[in-house]
Structure 1
Amino acid sequence: MNNKRFIGLSPELYQHPSDRKALASLEKMPGLSLLLKKVNEYGIDRLLRMQTLGSEFKVTSRNFPKLYDAFMETCNILCVNPLPELYLFQGTGHIHTYAIGVEKPIVGVNLETMEWLTPEELCFALGHELIRVKGGYINYQQIGQVMPLVKGLISSTTLGLGGIAANGIEVALQNWIVMSKFTADRAGLFACQDIEVAISALMKLGGLPAEYLTADTIDDFEAQARSFMTTDLDNLDRFTQVFSFMKLRHPWTVMRMAELFKWIDAGEYKSLLETGKLPQPAKEPAQTSASSNSPTSSNSSSSSNSSNSSDWDFLANL
């Protein structure tokens, strides 16, 4: 692969608006500072690292060259430095990857990830995790993994009051974890730099084996994703929307593909790929003094972004 390297490209430039809003909502939650304090007190970072080192296979150029080469290629393209460690864990029946380690980052992939994905698709999947490392998202991701344990510890030490606060944080946290996938998929596309690879990788992530990835199934998946782009979820109850995201086992591949298509169609991916900058907004035609004083016309460009970003940020509307 001779893909372009993104030297100095900040993840904030391609952070999905819903990711940004959900993260802001999470960080405003009361009790979050207590939760972070407890996570540090109990050494969750060290615990997760010890579990990985004690049970999974460290990937090197000698033992798993295909996986190692894709990892090094992705780190090079996304300019991830220092390099995280890479580990391989047992099969689970579906593709699964993770990133942990605030102080010493680790990326883990399971056997299906290595066996089911091509080298180019591996770059997409690994880019999805490496952006969590580069973007500094690891801390909150780790809390999501150990939330049931930490919630119980807080509840027992605060006579149950902390547990009530932690329940609210958990909802906000799971909402953000799903929103952050939109940004991570953008990083995955930057890593593989091929939309067709991103499509096939997401289809395999959704559980479809390679032998079923025919031209027809791919075309139907693309059509389904583009149809989902117009889905109006406002007709659903807000709590239904939030708690549908609490089942993190669902990969949400169609929804994620729809969001990736929106980003590509807007021209932002191509502009960042070619110039490292977002496209300039089109100049609006000259307006009369009457129309220029209209609050609606003066805020048209900013309101369009905010409306798009609020499509998925259900928690902000509760």
Structure 2
Amino acid sequence: MIKASEFIHPEDAAALRQLESIPGFPALAKKILELGYEKLQYGINMASTIRLSDKQLPELYRHLPPICERLGIAEPEFYLQMNPNPNAYTSGDTRIFIVVTSGLVEMMDDEELDAVLAHECGHILCRHVVYNMVAQYVSMGLDALGILGSIAKPIEYALLYWSRKAELSCDRCGSIITSPEVVARVMARLAGGPRAITNHLDLEEWAKQADRYDEIRNDGLWNKALQLSVIMGQDHPFSAVRVREILRWEKSAQYRHLMQNLKAEASGKRCPKCNKPVCLEWAYCKYCGTKLG
């Protein structure tokens, strides 16, 4: 079983703490859902999309259960939306469901689709789903209020800021199931790049563009304000930033440690002394130092 604490992005954790520190916000989030928004969304989804199963498009459905099993989460309901625009999202609280569009399925190969589904499962594992729904509801509600909605705009921006950081955590979850390179490649595919081009991208060079972006963004107060005005209304980070973050995490001790532990668990072998999972190639148990036969 994988714990969210083993991979959650520190900026996600910090943004969530700030969001929950808003007086009354957690209670407000639950109250919004109690008003029926969750059931509304579930009903619309049930009537307008196709629920996948062993009997309904089984080849597509069977991508999801192994991912859920590996992450140690209950399997959500899985739906296909007939929509040429590539997209995937997770919704619900008492009944969580994942939706992918036909455009996404057509665009992605099997490995890339696994990365997308693992990303969506990351939202479940990190308990993002409720606040993502609240962010959508708040945005819809403020638009309906017109000028009065501007009073609550800071709450909307706080939710969007957290949402951008939450995506970084879920990119990590996608890379655990596939690899950081596959997740980075998905970014290029979602940007509309054809496979003939995206398969030959130098991902490290692309990641360097995020460093250049930071230089531009931090070049004086005016430039920072201009860049902030562009990003503050978005719920996803820029692609180059996501690619840099996931490739940077691949080089971290945290990533290596996590993947080593998962490999040890998959081996089925355990230390005879401490009973911790160990890799087949280990000469000694890294937990207690016992020599392995």
Whether the TM-score (by the shorter chain) exceeds 0.5 is yes
Q: Does 1:228 align with 2:210?
A: yes
Q: Distance in 2 between matches of 1:210 and 1:249?
A: 26
Q: Does 1:166 align with 2:152?
A: yes
Q: Does 1:51 align with 2:33?
A: no
Paired position in structure 2 for 1:177: 163
Paired position in structure 2 for 1:290: none
Paired position in structure 1 for 2:250: 264
Q: Tell me the percent identity.
A: 25
Q: Which amino acid aligns with 1:264?
A: E
- Aligned residue for 2:138, secondary structure, equals helix
**8, 17, 24: which one aligns with 1:15:** 8
Paired position in structure 2 for 1:289: none
Q: Which amino acid aligns with 1:77?
A: R
Q: In the alignment, is the contact (CA less than 8 A) between 1:67 and 1:119 conserved in 2?
A: no
More contact order relative to length (CA 8 Å, sep ≥ 6): 1
Q: In the alignment, is the contact (CA less than 8 A) between 2:38 and 2:93 conserved in 1?
A: yes
Q: Does 1:211 align with 2:196?
A: yes
Q: Distance in 2 between matches of 1:248 and 1:90?
A: 25
- Call closer, same or farther: CA 1:240–1:174 in 2, change over 3 Å: farther
Give the superposition deviation at 1:84: 0.3
Paired position in structure 1 for 2:288: none
Q: Does 1:98 align with 2:84?
A: no
Q: Which amino acid aligns with 2:77?
A: E
Q: Deviations over 1:17-41 (max 9, x none)?
A: 1111111222223463574255134
Q: Which amino acid aligns with 1:222?
A: E
Paired position in structure 1 for 2:172: 186
Aligned counterparts, 1:1-318, within 5 A: 7=1, 9-30=2-23, 32-33=25-26, 35-36=28-29, 38-81=31-74, 83-93=75-85, 95-151=86-142, 160=148, 163-164=149-150, 166-192=152-178, 194-215=179-200, 218-219=201-202, 221-229=203-211, 231-232=214-215, 233-235=217-219, 237=221, 238-248=224-234, 252-275=238-261
Q: Distance in 2 between matches of 1:54 and 1:80?
A: 26
- Call closer, same or farther: CA 1:236–1:109 in 2, change over 3 Å: farther
Q: Normalising by the residue count of structure 1, what TM-score does the alignment of the two structures yield? A: 0.73
Give the superposition deviation at 1:227: 4.1
Alignment RMSD, CA only? 2.6
Give the superposition deviation at 1:100: 0.5
Give the superposition deviation at 1:195: 3.2
- Call closer, same or farther: CA 1:242–1:147 in 2, change over 3 Å: farther
Q: In the alignment, is the contact (CA less than 8 A) between 2:49 and 2:81 conserved in 1?
A: yes
Q: Distance in 1 between matches of 2:150 and 2:27?
A: 13
- Call closer, same or farther: CA 1:266–1:254 in 2, change over 3 Å: same
Q: Distance in 2 between matches of 1:33 and 1:202?
A: 32
Deviates more, 1:39-48 or 1:109-118: 39-48
- Aligned residue for 1:43, secondary structure, equals helix
User: May I ask how many residue pairs the two structures share in their alignment?
Assistant: 259
Q: Which runs of 5+ in 1 are unaligned?
A: 1-6, 278-318
Q: Deviations over 1:211-233 (max 9, x none)?
A: 32242xx11x4312134246333
Q: In the alignment, is the contact (CA less than 8 A) between 1:70 and 1:120 conserved in 2?
A: no
Q: Distance in 1 between matches of 2:57 and 2:14?
A: 39
Q: Which amino acid aligns with 1:258?
A: R
- Call closer, same or farther: CA 1:174–1:134 in 2, change over 3 Å: same
Q: Deviations over 1:33-90 (max 9, x none)?
A: 5742551342111111111111111012333233212112211221212x10001112
Q: Deviations over 1:233-283 (max 9, x none)?
A: 332645444432244376622110101111112232121110269xxxxxx
- Aligned residue for 1:235, secondary structure, equals coil
- Aligned residue for 1:42, secondary structure, equals helix
Q: Distance in 2 between matches of 1:33 and 1:111?
A: 35
